[in-house]
Amino acid sequence: MERMLTLHELTLGIQLVLILVFLFILILLIYSFKKYKSEANRQVWKDKIDKYLMEVIVDGKPNDISISEELIAFCKRESFRRFFLSQLIGAERKFSGAAAAVLNSVFYTYNLDKEAYVLLRSNQSYLIARGIQALTIMNVMDALPEIKAKLNHHSNLVIREVQYSLVHFLGFEGLAFLNNTSILISDWQQLRLLNSIKSLPIGANENIKSWLYSGNVSTKLFALKLIRKFQVFEIHDELIAFLENVIIQVQTETVKTLFTIESGETTSLLVNNFQKFAEKTQIEIIKGLGKNRALDQIDFLKSQLEYHPIKQIKVHAAEALSLLGEENYLIGLSRNLDHADPTLLVLNHALQTRL
């Protein structure tokens, strides 16, 4: 027979539970108060920093900025220094020219460069990334060797910031990490890198060709986007082989790129091999024919509109024909089609009219 709890034991149990509940509530209140105080401090700091930055930017004297004793006193606190640094970085992104020069002076005047180095040398990945970001945005070229040393860091967050920093400081030469990186480069990261490259140096084509054959799919895709951005016509024929790639995204990006650096044989090559491609690649071809005003492929587009079994292909074929000035054909076809024909809905969409 199981032993029954005594009244004394039951009372002690209830008291213990109440004590634990009380401690939990106390800890929650303390945490909430600290969080509230921190948020209140941050708002006060933000107002003071914003006011100060506005004053020095309006004053416009990068070599002789006014110094706030109040901000210097606040800078004794690590939390404030890091908050000041983040606000300064945010402001730097919005300004250029004289205003940017003023913000750069603020960066050094309040020793925020030292704080950025502290972050860079931290053991925590998110702090290292913030440090790299700060030193990059504030154009601290001297920090590049130390930043580059973290290219093989275990954190992808850090690696992304290192990659961007290298390209920011070195331009196209900073892309050397593509030669052996195995880490996938996200679409957003590719966009950041592309926006940081302003021109291609002599001999860049050989590098781009080697990246096209990389085992890293994202490196291939980035190389294709580089070719598009700078219209590297010399690589046109090299790209034809990539139409056979089993990765659909590589196929579609190759098609986009071929249309950008189009030669006299591009459209006929794509149309003649049209049936070999996956649906997404076929759509990209049809869109390209419309955008590039491929008047010699009007009959091909008409056949895809009327006979292709996939609705999306029909939609894009109709839109391409509209771009090529074939509205009369589209209207005439719509009048001749049975109301139950699915092609009619496609034509209505393309013509943006109710029949």
The count of structural domains within the chain is 1
Question: 277: domain range?
Answer: 264-355
CB-CB neighbours of 56 under 10 Å: 21
Q: Is residue 329 part of a domain?
A: yes
Q: Is residue 296 part of a domain?
A: yes
Residue in the block written with tokens 């894009």: 316
Q: Is residue 302 part of a domain?
A: yes
pLDDT band at 346 (very low <50, low <70, confident <90, very high): confident
CA distances from 297 to 204, 271, 302 (A): 34, 8, 9
Q: Is residue 345 part of a domain?
A: yes
Residue 290 near residue 323 (C-beta atoms within 8 A)? yes
Tell me the C-alpha distance between 93 and 196, whole Å: 14
More confident residue, 107 or 8: 107
DSSP 8-state symbol, 244: G
On the 0-12 / 13-18 / 19+ scale of CB atoms within 10 A, 314 is buried
Tell me the C-alpha distance between 318 and 354, whole Å: 15
Q: Is residue 36 part of a domain?
A: no
Q: What's the token pair of residue 320?
A: 């391409």
Tell me the C-alpha distance between 80 and 90, whole Å: 15
Tell me the C-alpha distance between 343 and 315, whole Å: 8
Of 49-63, 101-115, 201-215, which gets the smallest average pLDDT? Answer: 49-63
pLDDT band at 63 (very low <50, low <70, confident <90, very high): confident
pLDDT tens-place string over residues 274-307: 999 999 999 999 999 999 999 999 999 999 988 8
Q: Is residue 279 part of a domain?
A: yes
